Amino acid sequence: MWALVLAPLAVVAAVGVGAGIAWIFLFGDDPWPPAAQSFILALGAVAGLLTAAAAIWIGNDRGKAAQVLRASNSRAGWRRAAALLAPPVFFALFIASSFWVRERNDRQVMTSAATQEAGFADFVGATKRIAGLTVTTDSQGVVHATVRISGDRAGGYRLKWHVAPSTVDRPLISSDRALALDRQDDEVPIAFSIEDLRNQYQAVVLAGHGGALIDELFRLEVLLEPVPTEEERLRLPPGELHRLETSESPLQSRQTEAFPVRFTVSN
């Protein structure tokens, strides 16, 4: 029994130590030669055989002593035999139950992760996306943009947008709006004036100075993201809510449209 318990442990320990030494001191992340794997496996086999042989030899020696003891006192001999047999049996059962519990827990974790991943994929697929973005300027100097939105998920969303010159990566006009959208496709209007754009350009880009003719492309960048309900938050993968609030997330939809602008900034 001790041979059956200790030999596999010796194989695992020898293979682990051999692989660790080979990785740290010999090969690292470089490709390993085929002989290295054979040598490590042979090392584990030798360690297992030696451990099994030692356990059998010690057990045989103890068995002879127990047989002599049984001849003089059979009851004491049986107690001694049971005491020698109990530890390896208990140890084997403990290891087997540990592996079974670990395998069951891993299976439950994998099942839960797969279910969560499938639910998140459905959530991403149903979330509304920006289907189109158009920008026009009327004769009154007002820029009109239309954000076309499509998707199945009804509920709360946030629409964030900003306008920036193509030559400067600094937003001049921005907005953050809360939307309540139904299952139908939607169109959300955005409007701002060229006068506001001129004033912000003078303040942000020209630092208050004037006397410049601005004739370049500006870009309107639009971001649409859902506002998850409490139930949806609980179904999100770990860290997804943080990504939704601070960086890029597959739940977000972005689109950019460039449009020409021409105005004069006076002194």
CATH code (residue 178)? 2.60.40.10
152's tokens: 């199945």
φ, ψ of residue 132 to 5 degrees: the values are -175, 160
| Sign of the dihedral defined by the CA atoms of residues 204, 205, 207, 212, in that order | negative
- The pLDDT tens digits for 141-177 are 999 999 999 999 999 999 999 999 988 888 999 999 9
Give the end of a domain, one of 123, 156, 190: 123
Which of 61, 92, 123 terminates a domain? The answer is 123
Same domain, residue pair 245 and 151:
yes
Residues 62, 143, single domain; the answer is no
Asked whether the beta carbons of 212 and 264 are under 8 A apart, the reply is: yes
Cα distances from 44 to residues 9, 34, 95, 109, in angstroms, run: 10, 16, 19, 31
Q: SS3 for the chain, per residue?
A: CHHHHHHHHHHHHHHHHHHHHHHHHHHCCCCCCHHHHHHHHHHHHHHHHHHHHHHHHHHHHHHHHHHHHHHHCHHHHHHHHHHHHHHHHHHHHHHHHHHHHHHHHHHHHHHHHHHHHHHHHHHHHHCCEEEEEEEEECCCCEEEEEEEEECCCCEEEEEEEEEEECCCCCCCEEEEEEEEECCCCEEEEEEEEHHHHHHHHHHHCCCCCCCEEEEEEEEEEEEEEECCCHHHHHHCCCCHHHHHHHCCCCCCEEEEEEEEEEEEECC
**The model's pTM:** 0.62
Same domain, 44 and 147: no
Tokens representing 42?
A: 């042979």
- N-to-C CA span, the chain: 96
Q: CA-to-CA distance for 113 and 107, rounded, in angstroms?
A: 10
Name the phi and psi angles at 68, rounded to 5.
Answer: -65, -40
Whether residue 151 sits in one domain with residue 116: no
Same-domain check for residues 22 and 55: yes
pLDDT, residue 179, reads: 95
Residues 165 and 59 in one domain: no
Structural domain harbouring 91: 2-123
pLDDT of residue 76: 67
Average pLDDT, the chain: 86
Last residue of one domain, picked from the residues 81, 106, 123: 123
**Using CA of residue 44, residue 49, residue 50, residue 52, what is the dihedral sign?**
positive
Say whether both 102 and 10 belong to one domain.
yes
What pLDDT is attached to residue 27? 74
Q: Which residue positions in the chain have pLDDT lower than 50?
A: none
Q: Are residues 17 and 59 in the same domain?
A: yes
Q: How far apart are CA 160 and CA 174, in angstroms?
A: 7
Are 158 and 227 in contact by the 8 Å Cβ rule? The answer is yes
Provide the pLDDT for residue 105: 84
The number of folded domains in the chain is: 2
Same domain, 132 and 260: yes
Residue 178 and residue 49 share a domain: no
Q: Are residues 62 and 166 in the same domain?
A: no
Instruction: Assess whether 140 and 153 both reside in one domain.
Output: yes
